[in-house]
Amino acid sequence: MAADLSHFDNGPWLAEELGAPGSRRRAVFTLRQLRYFVAAADGLALTSAAKSLHVSQPSVSAAVMALEELFGTELFVRHHAKGLSLTPTGEKLAREARALLKHADDMQSVAGEMSSEIKGALSIGCLITIAPYLVPQLLQQFRERHPQAVLNAAVDHQEALLSALMHGRLDVLVTYDLDVPKELTFQPLASLPPYVVAAEKSRIAKMKRVNLADLVNEPLVLLDLPLSREYFLGIFSAAGITPHVRYRSAHAEVVRSMVAQGLGYSILNIPSRTHHALNGSKFVSRNLVGQHRSLALGTATRTTSHPRAILKAFQAVCADVMRDMVQQGS
């Protein structure tokens, strides 16, 4: 979903004098043009930009060409059938445009605070393994509570999300406390201990509680994502045990399906509301005996002394949704 900035686009919004004093030539551009240009810069393709904005490709192309004519320089290098790449001037304008659009969203948020309503747009990122469980509920509940505000949601792995937050492309992350830099503020909202998942008819399924030592000779299906893999393997390393990693996948649902099919066991954190994998097979969940590091699930933001009202409103919704998720999954 894109931020509704249409009320800023009714005519020239920004103007800068060009040429000698007294010249009537003025550089005028709109937030819509900047928004189209930034979308093209983020995806390095006009087609993907148009799709993300829900507009036609010629509209994006026209906005970019208008900016290039205005600034008298190329912003992109066009590669035939290979998309775009930013010129040095394009990279600089993209940074400035993101900051300007962010400031416009902040102005909407301030206006919302003054009218006691939450308004504006917020760009959220969610860790790919927990997105299916949280993002739909977050979007629905936030929309019900704050219909004048807009959430833009992105899903990725931890390293990519942290980079996007640090560089201002996202406003807040919904994620685990995995290698969160000190420059960011992490607000824990739920504690999720590791647990074992195994096929319904496996040897592990017959156990009520499982020790790591019980798993030594069993094949492990590892959730293989940056930082996540180090966390799960670290559980074994801390106990002086080397697991037998047989399969790997970066997709949690693939891991569950492989486990349910009887190809091995896995260790996960996110509570499951069902014990059926997407392939139709069943799996079971078992507590892991011993003291193992739990993951804190919460929100990460850039440190600021005055968080926007829309951000605080989103974190309140996160707290409610995560509490319900943990209760239903227990």
CATH number at residue 278: 3.40.190.10
* pLDDT(113) > 80: no
State the residue range of the domain holding 81: 6-97
Detail the DSSP E strand segments found in the chain. 14-17, 26-29, 76-79, 83-86, 120-127, 149-156, 172-176, 184-192, 195-199, 209-210, 219-223, 244-249, 266-268, 283-288, 295-302
> What's the farthest any 2 CA atoms get from each other in the chain?
86
Question: Do 58 and 47 share a structural domain?
Answer: yes
Give the end of a domain, one of 44, 62, 97: 97
For position 108, what pLDDT does the model report? 67
Listed range (71-80, 136-145, 149-158, 252-261) with the worst mean pLDDT:
71-80
Listed range (81-85, 141-145, 268-272, 316-320) with the worst mean pLDDT:
81-85
Tell me, yes or no, whether 234 lies in a domain: yes
Would strands 83-86 and 120-127 be described as parallel, antiparallel, or unpaired? unpaired
Question: Do 286 and 260 share a structural domain?
Answer: yes
How far apart are alpha carbons 193 and 89 in whole angstroms? Answer: 48
How far apart are alpha carbons 195 and 198 in whole angstroms? Answer: 10
The pLDDT-based confidence of 140 (bands split at 50, 70, 90) is: very high
Stated length of the chain: 330
Tell me, yes or no, whether 125 lies in a domain: yes
Task: Give the rounded percent of residues in the chain with a pLDDT score beyond 90.
Answer: 48
* pLDDT(44) > 80: yes
Q: How far is CA 20 from CA 25, 68, 100, in A?
A: 9, 21, 26
Tell me, yes or no, whether 104 lies in a domain: no
Q: Which residue has the tokens 């800068």?
A: 16
Listed range (10-19, 105-114, 200-209) with the worst mean pLDDT:
10-19
Burial of 106 from C-beta contacts in 10 A (0-12 / 13-18 / 19+): middle
Question: Do 289 and 217 share a structural domain?
Answer: yes
Would strands 149-156 and 76-79 be described as parallel, antiparallel, or unpaired? unpaired
CATH of the domain at 58: 1.10.10.10
Question: Do 28 and 17 share a structural domain?
Answer: yes
Task: Give the rounded percent of residues in the chain with a pLDDT score beyond 70.
Answer: 88
Question: Do 161 and 121 share a structural domain?
Answer: yes
* pLDDT(244) > 60: yes
For position 146, what pLDDT does the model report? 93
Question: Do 202 and 289 share a structural domain?
Answer: yes
Instruction: Count Cα neighbours of 261 within 13 Å in the Cβ-side half-sphere.
Output: 12
Question: Do 319 and 173 share a structural domain?
Answer: yes
Contact 212, 239 (CB under 8 A): yes
Question: Do 70 and 131 share a structural domain?
Answer: no
Question: Do 153 and 15 share a structural domain?
Answer: no
Instruction: Count Cα neighbours of 56 within 13 Å in the Cβ-side half-sphere.
Output: 3
pTM of the model: 0.61
Question: Do 214 and 264 share a structural domain?
Answer: yes
**pLDDT (tens digit, 9 = 90+) per residue, 184-241?**
999 999 999 999 999 999 999 999 889 999 998 899 999 998 888 999 999 999 999 9
Tell me, yes or no, whether 127 lies in a domain: yes
**pLDDT (tens digit, 9 = 90+) per residue, 177-189?**
988 998 899 999 9
Question: Do 185 and 301 share a structural domain?
Answer: yes
Tell me, yes or no, whether 13 lies in a domain: yes
The pLDDT-based confidence of 107 (bands split at 50, 70, 90) is: confident
Contact 146, 166 (CB under 8 A): no
93-101 average pLDDT score: 89
Tally of structural domains, the chain:
3
Residue 164's CB: how many other CB atoms inside 10 A?
A: 18
How far apart are alpha carbons 300 and 59 in whole angstroms? Answer: 35
